[in-house]
Structure 1
Amino acid sequence: WSHEPRRDYTNLPGGDYVFRVQARNAAGLIFDSEPLAFRVQPPYYLTPLAWSIYVLAAVVLLLLSARLGQRMRERKLLAQQQVLAEQVAERTAEVRAQAREIRQISDARAQFFANVSHELRTPLTLTRGPLQELARIGGDRLDDELKQYLNVALRNSEAMQSLIGQILDLQRLDAKRMPLKLIEVDLALIVRGIVDRFAVQARLRQIELSCEGADKPLRLVCDQAHIDTMLSNLMSNAIKFTPDGGKVEVRLTRSEKHIELSVSDTGPGVDPADQQAIFERYRQGEQTSASSPGTGIGLALARELAELHGGRIGVESQPGKGACFTLKIPTDLQPNAAASDPPEVVETPAMAAHEPSEQDIDELSSEDVPCVLLVEDNAELRAFLRLRLGRSYRIEEAADGAEGLQRARELIPDAIITDGLMPVMDGLTMTRQIKNDPELAFVPVLMLTSRAAPEDTVRGLEAGADDYLAKPFDSAELAARVAGLIASRRRLKARLEDAGSSTAEANELSITSPFMVQVDAVLDDHLSDPRFTVRDWADLLHMDRTTLFRRLKGETGQSPEEYLFEKRLQAAARLLTEGAGNVAEVADAVGFVSVSHFSRRFKERFDTTPAAFAQHGNS
């Protein structure tokens, strides 16, 4: 109880309240008052609206926090992705650089092998050439032991030549410059020939060599040269690893879709771990490389050539039980354009004659000794060729193309033999300039070169070379080709002389076919231009030099240079007969830049001087 007339209540929380009071009077009696209900309003920050705002703010904060966290995670992920991308790019660049370096190393290695192979062709020529001459000239005077030594040297020089060719084949495969020349051949005949080629080597080591399934003709469309390379490599591999007294068996069979060539031996075999590696370039089986080292080229080339045919090559072997290599070539190949329509390479008499005939020898010996200009930068090869050809010809020499061109203009030789690759001026450039020179265009050019690919041959012939011979060459074949070139020029000269010295008789040689009418029309328009070349002539006829050579040779029996030279002389004879001018004016009118050269060639053609011819024609 308290004796207070009033009571204050402060800081009451908001809410509904009931106020009850009991009072006591003076007599001590207690009275209850009526309860008083009242409500205390909460502060504004505790109102439902405020709580709604608080909840909404909390939700917004949560959403913002989640979004901020997501953005932070995204930024972190982006940073990680950027780091990973940079690492991947850096690693990719490293891998590409390594791949590029590996490719450059591989290309450099292949180019090195190719360059070395080209460089080896000249010393190999100087090795094989004297050996062949020794066997050809002194073979009858050698005893059996020396003959065996000589045969061993010749066989190994041929093996080196084959290896050089295979290295260059690999380079052409890499460059995709080895098209298939598919023709139909008798595969059985090819197989028998290759087996016979290895018979002597097998007999020397008492290896039993047998061939089954090649006794009857077996037609197949394939690239004959590639088949020869593949089977020769398999045979060489088998004989190399077969011990003395062992056995090598070649079997030829035909199935519905393939022709199978298998070569089995009784050698040490191939470890299963090496059976794939031996078909890779420059790789060999571990167990065989130490005892029979090689280059790791033969089987790799065989596999790539087989795949080029759409075929395959494989091996079945167990260590110590020999090996069987099987080559499968599909039977559905068709002859292609490369085989049915070969490059327009015209066969000259020198190409057709691999040995000089008695008639050629008589023709060459019945007149003054012909002059042959030898253009070669290798002094030893020049010395060997001078020794070999000096028996029949007067040999003049030049060490590079520029000197060769100068010497040719001084000598006007009967034939020129030139290397392809030389300092100062190469053989192709020299040949073009010779064929574009009216005073030298008729001189036959035989090109010797270490570049033996078909496209190299075409380039040489398109440059104007009359013949092309790859190193290493047989010196007897070279002599035969030179004799053929010189003899063909002299036969042509004799035919023209037999036709008579008058222009009327000479005109009997002309051909009136539509092609020749067009040829003569172009020629007549440019006959007086001393700079007019066969290449210009071909361009005006809308054909290349090779096509012009082939068609003109077929129509007239003459090369473009010979025909151009003959037409100029015929025109000169006509002008002299008509009294159209003096000798110098006529020479200039028909495209000769030198009166002395014109007079000399005119006399060779008509057996009289231009002045005498003009006097006779006007009398």
Structure 2
Amino acid sequence: MSSKADSVRFAPRGATSLTLQALDAQTALLPYALVAFLVSLPIFVWAGSFAPNAAWMTVSFALFAIACAATYAAVGWLRTPAAQDLVKRGRVHVVTGLVWAGCVAQIAAFADNAGPMREALLLMATAASVVCIFFTAPWLPSLLIVGAAAAAGPLIALFATPQSQSAASLAWGGVALAFALALILNRILRRQFAMAAEREELIADRAGKVEEASRLARSKSDLVATLSHEIRNGLTGVAHVLAAAAGRNGRAAPSRDQLSAALDAVSDLIGVLNTTLDSETAEAGRLAIDIRPIDAAGLVRDLVLLNRPHAAAKGLELDVFVAPELDGRVGAAMADPTRLRQILANLLGNAIKFTVRGRVEARLELTESGRLAIEIADTGPGLSPEELDRAFEAFLRVERTSAGVPGAGLGLSLSRQLARLMQGELKASSAPGVGSCFRLELPFDRDAAPQIDLIVQDATDDPAEGRKLRILMAEDDSLNAAMMRAVLEQLGHQVVHAQDGRRAVDLAKVCDFDLALIDGRMPGLDGPEATAAIRALEGPAAHLPIIAVIGGDADEAQACTEAGADAVLRKPVSVTAVARAVADATSAPRRLAAGRRVA
């Protein structure tokens, strides 16, 4: 059979696999069936020579030749790719068998008028029907149809004459025994086919597990190598600055430039860790996506505005072009605003990072198919087709353009994964020495209205200008508690710290709080349990807005939201993420309208 047949055979699926194997077995028997009929031909000629009707015998020989030719053609057709259609293949087997059954019926009709050789020829026809029954045994439909048709002619002719009753009973017993044995053989073969199918499924499953294990091993190896390099370099610089700040080894206090460099290193480290975590979560298929109508043009303009100082510092032009049909507030892109912002921020950041001179431009337009296309084009070094493929591989970086530039090599890989999760597509075109263009296509609904998203930007707004809240924070790790307290106090809120979940529940019973931040993993009473315990309290405490602070695991986030958390905040936290989570959790109309979300 062809290679395509092999791929089908080694990927069995239930009843289809049993049918395929039965047809394979019957196909393997067809040449032997042809040989059996050819061997019996001289016997039929010898017996037929005693018959007075020579013309009818000549017709029988012609039909015999036609049946042989049909069987030979069927054997040839079954070796072609067209035989992969099991329905057509089954029909060919049945039709070929019915041709032989017709020959047996014709022999029976010929024998019925053969005079003294009548019973001998009818018993020979019965033997021919038994041969048909045997060779159709592997596939039950063929056995029931062809076997019954082949046995009908001789048995009807024998039972039609009273003088042939003894021969008829003998023929009937032989046919019944042949059918019984054929059914037993079919049952045994079906069991063997089922065992073979199960074996092939186990082999395919094992091969898939081995491949998955190899992929995970490669991913972990690349992850360790990348993170060890990025974290070692970043933490070394931060450690030097902190050592200077602590006055060790007689060093002077760090300068503003050194502190700025340390802050940049920490920001890069957080970006690498966040990207790595998102990539692993997306690879496992557990990354939550909240698709809704959004104003993509406004989002792109905001990102361009935020990146313009960085581009100006490098002497680059940074522009945005929005097609007129998108600037009239007609329709909306269907995407997750947080993940879309993550993709575009990565594409814009890469364009500015790798472009030395020239310009970077963001363009928005509608495609002919009605989808939204967002292009980020630059005049950077450009990539060859091989380098472009490498750029989209996880943990792989293009050495020619990435030397001295921090990063984990995950940005484009993650962006493509996020685009696919939003039913979109991320493509790229590039040429060395000319530049690159990354094109993101997303679904677009002309009848939808963009939703206003409460996302706090990293802008110059004073976070302390909003409402001052009294916040209950449950965190068992002292360092994380100190950092979270610093962020919340920077936002102007008052914080009461509980060392564990049980203490948080006790405080919620006796104190009035505006909000609770509960760590997802704590000894004793963990985050989901503490959240459920607060929801079970009596009075206003049961309706306390709760933010679950997690380490990024999707299962942990689901457990917290099912326990009653209003928002989920993922570590490591930033001022922007905390402000957004606080705004989401304390906005009751938003919670009812939009549901819970991950910040």
TM-score between both structures, scaled by the size of structure 1: 0.47
Q: Which has the higher helix share?
A: 2
